Amino acid sequence: MSEKEKKNLQENGEQLSLDDGRRVKVLSPGMMVFKRFIRNKLAIVGICTLVFMFVFSFVGGVVSPYRQDQVFYKVDAANKEYASAVVNTDYRFTPVDGATLSTMTRATFNSQVKSSGKDVTTFVADNTTYTATRLDEGFYILSAGQNLGTVTQLGKMVDIALDEGKELSDAARAAVQAALTGKQTSFEAEGVTYTLTRDVGKTYKLSSMGEVGLASMLNFDAYDPANTALVSSYAFKKACEQAMHEGEGSFTVDGVTYALDIENETTALVTDQNGTEIAGVSNIIVNPVNVGVFLPADYKAAVEEAIAGRKTAFDYTNANGEVERHTIQMRGNNYIISTMQQTYLIDMYAAPSAQHPLGTDDHGMDVLTRLMYGGRISLMVGFIVMILENIIGIIIGGVSGYFGGWVDTLLMRFVDLFNSIPYYPMMIIAGAIMDSFEVDPYIRLYMMMAIMGIMGWTGVARVVRGQILSLREQDFMIATEATGIPVSRRIFRHLVPNVMPLLIVQATMGLGGIILTEATLSFLGLGIKYPLASWGSIINSASNIYVMTNCWYLWIPAGLLIVLTVLGFNFVGDGLRDAFDPKMKR
């Protein structure tokens, strides 16, 4: 009652009785608890801290322009492998237009012709007879035989049996007989080369030969991609290499004459009539490291020159007129050419900037955004685990405390069994099992919360059991039993609400411990996994001595958030404990 009301009543002469409600200011129990709570300055500080944490975590993640798993890149120069080179020691095959040379044909050539040393070697591959004619060292023309029929020698008589549809002129027949008499396996007639391959006894297979490709140790590189088809054609390579081996200064292909500048037996430059560089010829094969990159012929020529001169580096002027420095390293039988290249790199350990106020982490992600999303996980884990612990603890403790006797003994031994299980070893084992099965990060989060809740309910059960043991003997419980209220309603409607103030205080103070536990597990790599983040997993980067000493912005903010959150919950818990205490001074 205000002083003004009292003064008015006194002036009017009205007397108030002792039981008049206007004489006493009545407060509800909830309002009394609230007034005691807000009187505690540390509790108000805790509430403000927790409000900030919730706004930072749940609203900040929405406001942030970045995703929690967004990786940032930067353009920087890095010394990367650009090309590789090798001195060719294997034959390279070029088939005639429209023809093919199978893998078996190439393998048979290498096994039979390469080591024979003969000028003309005949071999069979894929049921086809081939003739390899050596024009010079490392240069062969391959001809394939077309079966015409069989030839049988009977004394001085020669019987030629042609396959259906095949024809042979009189001059060719005479040449066959002369070849058999002279014991020749290859001969020419009317500009066509024929071969005789022994079949059975004195029976031979007769075949006509035609060019199907060439085998060479040299590599042809076009200076202009538009000339790639020309330079890689059979006619161009054959004419060019023949001119090289014969020491000629030009050659003609399809009516076009090309100039040939021969540097040595394995290196030459091909130009057209206008002096435009068409192709480079060398026994060194230069290929790009990355697929889809075209290496100009002049670059390959620069590499070949550097390798021939046994240089470890050379300068090359690119198409933009920029001078690039290339280094050469020997790796086995290969030469690795590296140069500084503009490339996209993950922007790791970037210092704080306007774009990233707290820099980036070791994955190139924005640390501030990760802290916001990490706060969601840490706070969610704390509340869900605490709710789960209280549900299990209230049920077990309520039933144990109400019934007592053998039920109480059985349930308390069950509690003792859970208390005897080592907490952290079990969490480590569970984390290792989830790692081995590569459990999805989201499922892992739910499983971790379930395990933490199942392992931590025993303290709540003991508190509830102890309180209900004392409450069940009071008069209001005798009244509930007399009125026939069901047992479940007596426990959870009449007994448990009387324990709730104590449980609220205990839960509030226990939230900080759960958050610390989750942070510890995540720091050890057993908790939250990428792409999810928690404050503990963010601090995990501090296990690197470089990060701890040079990148304070990666782990100090997360540590401060954990400290402030735990202190906030502890302050609120202390405030609630004092507010619910009936002995607290008004």
> Which CATH number does the domain housing residue 423 bear?
1.10.3720.10
DSSP per-residue string spanning 97-152: TT----HHHHHHIIIIITTT--SEEEEEETTEEEEEEEEETTEEEEEEEEEEEEEE
Question: Is the pLDDT score of 15 beyond 60?
Answer: no
pLDDT tier at 586, thresholds 50, 70, 90: very low
pLDDT tier at 6, thresholds 50, 70, 90: low
Q: Exposed (0-12), middle (13-18) or buried (19+): which is 358, by Cβ within 10 Å?
A: buried
**Predicted TM-score of the model (pTM):** 0.61
In whole angstroms, what is the distance from residue 416 CA to residue 410 CA?
Answer: 10
Domain boundary among 345, 367, 389: 345
Percent of the chain at pLDDT > 90 equals 29
- Residue 530 placed within a domain: yes
Residue 17 — φ and ψ, nearest 5°?
A: -75, 165
The token pair at 210 is 């035609």
Question: Is the pLDDT score of 21 beyond 70?
Answer: no
Question: Is the pLDDT score of 416 beyond 70?
Answer: yes
> Among residues 142, 149, 182, 191, which one has the least CA distance to residue 166?
149
The token pair at 296 is 């100009």
- Residue 20 placed within a domain: no
Q: Which residue has the higher pLDDT, 189 or 366?
A: 366
- Residue 246 placed within a domain: yes
pLDDT in tens, 40-90: 899 999 999 999 999 999 999 899 999 998 999 988 887 888 899 988 888
> Among residues 537, 549, 551, 562, which one has the least CA distance to residue 356?
551
Exposure b/e, 475-507, CB count within 10 A at least 16 = b: eebeebeeeeeeeeebbeebbbeebebbbbbbb
- Residue 99 placed within a domain: yes
Domain boundary among 180, 195, 215: 215
pLDDT tier at 14, thresholds 50, 70, 90: low
332 shares a domain with 284:
yes
The token pair at 416 is 């003792």
Average pLDDT on 567-572 reads: 93
Length in residues, the chain: 586
Residue 184 — φ and ψ, nearest 5°?
A: -100, 140
- Residue 586 placed within a domain: no
pLDDT value of residue 2? 55
Give the strand pairing for 277-282 and 73-87.
unpaired
In whole angstroms, what is the distance from residue 282 CA to residue 177 CA?
Answer: 45
Percent of the chain at pLDDT > 70 equals 94
pLDDT value of residue 326? 92
Residue 578: count of CB within 10 angstroms of its CB: 19
- Residue 361 placed within a domain: yes
404 shares a domain with 311:
no
Average pLDDT on 510-519 reads: 89
The token pair at 18 is 């002792």
241 shares a domain with 122:
no
* Domain boundaries, position 484: 29-67+357-580
User: What is the SS3 string spanning 337-403?
Assistant: EEEEEEEEEECCCCCCCCCCCCCECCCCEEHHHHHHHHHHHHHHHHHHHHHHHHHHHHHHHHHHHHH
549 shares a domain with 421:
yes
Average pLDDT on 391-416 reads: 91
329 shares a domain with 368:
no
Question: Is the pLDDT score of 186 beyond 90?
Answer: no
> Among residues 519, 548, 549, 559, which one has the least CA distance to residue 536?
519
Cβ contact 131:118 at 8 Å: no
522 shares a domain with 404:
yes
Question: Is the pLDDT score of 5 beyond 80?
Answer: no
Say what angle helices 367-403 and 405-419 make with each other, to 10 degrees.
150
- Residue 211 placed within a domain: yes
Among 163-172, 518-527, 551-560, the range of highest mean pLDDT: 551-560
267 shares a domain with 194:
no
- Residue 352 placed within a domain: no
pLDDT value of residue 535? 92
Domain total of the chain: 3
> Among residues 250, 247, 279, which one has the least CA distance to residue 264?
247
Average pLDDT on 210-222 reads: 88
335 shares a domain with 236:
yes
Where are the extended beta strands (E) located within 217-299? 219-222, 250-253, 256-264, 267-271, 277-282, 284-288
User: What is the SS3 string spanning 406-449?
Assistant: HHHHHHHHHHHHHHCCCHHHHHHHHHHHHHHCCCCHHHHHHHHH
Q: Exposed (0-12), middle (13-18) or buried (19+): which is 292, by Cβ within 10 Å?
A: exposed
Domain boundary among 315, 345, 375: 345
Which residues are within 8 A (CB) of 67 and not within 5 positions of it... i.e. 6 or more apart?
369
389 shares a domain with 318:
no
Which residues are within 8 A (CB) of 54 and not within 5 positions of it... i.e. 6 or more apart?
379
Question: Is the pLDDT score of 108 beyond 70?
Answer: yes
195 shares a domain with 230:
no
- What pairs with residue 265 in β-bridges? none
Residue 490 is given by DSSP the state: I
473 shares a domain with 376:
yes
> What 3-state DSSP class applies to 569?
helix
pLDDT in tens, 329-387: 988 778 999 988 877 888 999 999 999 999 999 889 999 999 999 999 999 999 999 99
265 shares a domain with 201:
no
